[in-house]
Amino acid sequence: MKKDTAIILLHAQDHDGIVPAVTEFVLNNQGKIKKLDQHVIEDEKRIFMRIEWLLTNFAIPQEKIGEFFNTLIAERFQMKWSLHIRNKKTRVALFVSKYAHCFHDILSRYESKEWDIDIPIIISNHEKFRYVAERYDIPYHCFPITKENKKSQEAQELALLKEYQIDLVVMARYMQILTNHFIDQYPNQIINIHHSSLPAFAGADPYGSAFRRGVKFMGATAHYATEDLDEGPIIVQDVIPISHRDSIADMKRKGKDIEKQVLAQAVWAHLNYNVLTYKNKTVVFQ
């Protein structure tokens, strides 16, 4: 059986005392360190750190860890930090429209237990995949979106996310732009996949644009959704070579594979509390 662990992600102005202070906070309270990573970005003079430790025998009760860490360590070094307790499955809401590839890929990782998550709800703006949701016994809610009803439909979606206690929204090629109001409820908890290697070919029809420009590589980008479309912190990117022999249809076909890989890698990193955001960028611990 897996044991509960705590994870702290933090960043602060670079200071030599941070590594020993944080490690000793854990060790002096009978925590057993599972993983420790830190890195200084010299161009920013800032240290980024991730520490994970076993909670068995940890002297501070779970619900007090944050308070103690803040008082004893974080305030001293003026850290930005977050605490995560790994003791339950992450609850993921899947958003999908009419493209199947990312949707199926995530469901198969869920079903085969490659990912230890719950998917308590699937939300779509189309009925198309209701039968797939039924196959997995996952409630499927369809909210067709128009200019007029977007606000009210999103309100219902948000109510469902609250009801189902969703931790993470994965937009598996969900072809609607979320409003700022929606996004603000889930900061750094909504992962989107864009079918180009951002910042190249942001916006609509990236494959057509790439074809017309005659580039020799195409890619996909998974990022946290922010108020600026296609501008959120990039979590994972990948690319594949293309040539004059690739038609737009070839690019779309090959793109599907890279989209699903990149989205899956980003979700995996998020599920393992490996992603820290800073200045609209990410630090992705390995």
Q: Which two tokens stand for residue 269?
A: 């990193």
How many other C-beta atoms lie within 10 A of the C-beta of residue 102?
A: 26
| Contact status: 280 vs a second copy (CB under 8 A) | yes
Figure out which of the listed residues 69, 95, 211, 224 binds a second copy, where binding follows CB under 8 A: 211
Taking alpha carbons only, the member of 259, 238, 52, 58 closest to residue 170 is 259
Figure out which of the listed residues 4, 13, 17, 139 binds a second copy, where binding follows CB under 8 A: 17
Cα–Cα distances in angstroms (integers) from residue 97 to residues 123, 171, 221, 264, 267, in the given order: 9, 9, 18, 17, 19
List the x/- string, 258-277, binding to a second copy by CB under 8 A.
---x--x-------------
**In the bound complex, what is the minimum distance in angstroms from residue 161's beta carbon to a second copy?**
26
| Contact status: 226 vs a second copy (CB under 8 A) | no
For a second copy, the closer CB: 166 or 271: 271
The enclosing H or E element of 41 equals strand 32-41
The enclosing H or E element of 169 equals strand 168-172
Interacting span for a second copy (CB under 8 A) from 87-95, 148-156, 181-189, 216-224: 216-224
- Residue 230 designated active-site: yes
| Contact status: 23 vs a second copy (CB under 8 A) | yes
Q: At what angle do helices 101-111 and 248-271 cross, to 10 degrees?
A: 40
Cα–Cα distances in angstroms (integers) from residue 75 to residues 40, 201, 216, 232, in the given order: 19, 42, 49, 28
| Contact status: 245 vs a second copy (CB under 8 A) | yes
Q: Which two tokens stand for residue 284?
A: 């992705």
List the x/- string, 81-120, binding to a second copy by CB under 8 A.
-------------------xx--xx--x--xx-x------
The SS3 assignment for 192 reads: strand
Q: Which two tokens stand for residue 275?
A: 């992603």
Figure out which of the listed residues 71, 151, 217, 228 binds a second copy, where binding follows CB under 8 A: 217
Considering only residues 146 to 165 of the shown chain, the ones binding a second copy according to CB under 8 A are none
List the x/- string, 43-62, binding to a second copy by CB under 8 A.
x----x--------------
CA 40 – CA 278 distance, rounded (Å): 13
Give phi and psi for 54, each to the nearest 5.
Answer: -75, 135
Q: Which of 14, 37, 137, 230 is catalytic?
A: 230
Q: Which two tokens stand for residue 276?
A: 């820290």
Catalytic residues: 230
In the complex, the residues that contact a second copy under the rule CB under 8 A are 16-17, 19-20, 23-24, 26-27, 32-33, 35-36, 38-43, 48, 100-101, 104-105, 108, 111-112, 114, 135, 197-201, 211-217, 219, 233-234, 236-239, 241, 243-245, 247-248, 253, 256-257, 261, 264, 279-284, 286
